[in-house]
Structure 1
Amino acid sequence: MKYDDAEYYFLNFETDLPNENGGRHIGLFLEWAILRDLASAELTEHASKLRSGETSGLELLFDQCDGKLLDDDLDDEGNGFAADYYEAHHLRDFVEAMNLRADAEIDAIFGADLTRQRRRRVLWQLDRRYSDWCRKAGLPNKEALLDRLAAVMGPAVEAVGFPRLPDDGWGSHEKRRSFVRQGECGEQRFDLLAVDSPEWFYGVRLKLTVDIPRLYDAMYAEKQEDIGIVTIVQYGASIPFERLAEGWSGPIDDYSRDKGFWIFRDEDIEPLAEWLAHRLRSFALPLLRGLDSIDALALAYGAKPPDSSPIHDPQDPYAALLSAEMARHPRLGAMLDETEKAVGAIDVSARTRLQHGALSLIARIRHRSPALIS
């Protein structure tokens, strides 16, 4: 059985587009299938070259598959998914990722610039479609998923001084279990979320945050002055998903705003929970415990270069700059300069409101704390 053929498309090109462009969407599907262990044994041998960037799905499509996607290129599960998904959704998902209308001309579709961001969106669309397909085959509901995750991770969290809070209802698609360590200056918190959001995400999200009321008040006041109405959630610090996920070789959703760890199969739940428990014990919770004061936050934020800090947040510089000012950190002046340079390098239209507002904050800190700035 043939699912698709690049020749269908390039024979209909009306401009001088390369023939290979007719296979871009097929190559991305093939690449995704190999990396998700849904391809044939012969193609799966190329997985390490895909991960290293030595080859691409498009190159494999033409070098190994003669520009065609056949059922022989996939394993049984891959064929089951492709039979339900490929014809019904894949080309339309690709067109959407190219930021084109559904009725776009063929040369517009295959001539659009396949940027890194668009490529990531195609692969994310495949993951979320596959996640929904797996869910229909039977995965535990969010309550059962949370219980299984917490059975492995909970003891590791409580053993290092993060007692469990009573469960709350949380959202319609999420079930949360929270562990909080209270200190003199505030709290460090770990939230474990089991997520079952049909058509979007099934898996695990983790939040590791620090709340220090004195810093909270300062951030809220400064943001009110710079950008007006702001959310009531103002963390002194949070551990970025990218740092937490370092070393994990399984599937992750790092495209969405709320990043997380995909779960596609029931048998993947405990291995992921065990890896996360180790990651929490060895990295995340010790780091979180150490962020127990404004001085400690300032020390962590003040790393040089800034992105070497395990809590670096380029989207929201307020906590870093205000904690450094409040702690009289010796690198305050350098941090102001570094932040101003980093924000200035971003096109004005691409800046977040908080990045734009931080420029005003930097000017105020320089004005009110000249003695701290060398």
Structure 2
Amino acid sequence: MSYDRIEWHSEGEGFPKEAKPEDGGTHIGMFLTWIVQNDLIGELYIEISQEAINKVKSQKMTGRDFLIEECDSKFYNEVLNDEGNEFVKYYYDDDGNENYFGDYAKVFDEYDNVYEVENSWENYDKIKPIIEMRYHEWKNNNHKSLTLCNKKMKVNEIAQEISDGVLESFQKHGFKYRKAQKEFVRKIKEADQVFSLMYTKRNDGTITVKPELIIQVKEIEAIYKSIAQIKSRPYLTLGNYFLHLRDYDGDDLNYKKKPTKEWLIENDADVKHLIKIIPEYLEEDILPYFESNSSVSRVDELLNKYPEKMSVHNYSYPLRTNIAIIAAKLNRNPNYDDLIKIYERELEDAEENYKIEFYKLKELLASNLINDKKIWDAKGKK
């Protein structure tokens, strides 16, 4: 998750024509300098960027240079440890009057434009005490009082508040909210597109939220359900946790399944933060994923490109194999026979129900029924 990026400023309205692109990151860099010097950096960056961290601490590298060279010009949540993220959500990522950018503008009000502020250690020394003050305010007051409320947070109330807060953004794009399932659904001719939020209350009173993207291509789903061992089981065509899909680098060949990423709600500020960022993710990541991948041909391409590898686009390997052979058959994939052999071998250790379904599908897909699409037509869907 990005809190800020240089491009959001350098490519935005109000950015001076004479300014250099990196001038859009001076304010981020100064904040990042304070983060580094106060040991609020996350474990990942301690591991991979220790040399650069030491340079920032010794003032041999500016925070802006660290941002550009080590963070790809993006101020990510991964840059911070847990305490750093909590403070950033309170101060940097807040829309109130006493947020970081507002303080930054006041400190450097002698400039006609905040993007003209020189990236210097002298200027950092001007903003540093303000950040320190805000940090101690948060540490001594807000943080303590908010964390005391953890035990009182109720999952259903939090879920309703978040869904109400983002509902308009989803409705604008044709989604409807299913309250019981805590999911937003859009039905198009070819598929159902689902963005779901799974809430879990932990022993310490905090709540985790796992956002998931699901695509159910109707033609594939109808065929699968015709042979399904457990009719009530959801047979998603494509699906994974949104944060995995968002951060996916496109390297299907080397993809490895990773632990589930989730959002953490500890207080009201976290709820407000999610209400703010989910609509942004909808526009930037969720809609493009749905619009690119809701067809049989695309499912065939995504699931069958590397049949012996895990796929980020369907996290359940046994289910993926069965979905994949349906898509390959419908899309007339020339490698269909080879795919059958590969998946048959890969399913040797799978749950028995998936094996039974595979052999039923293998028989069905070889018949004239599927070639004539009689199963699909009989459901009155086409």
**TM-score, normalisation: structure 1:** 0.47
**TM-score, normalisation: structure 2:** 0.47
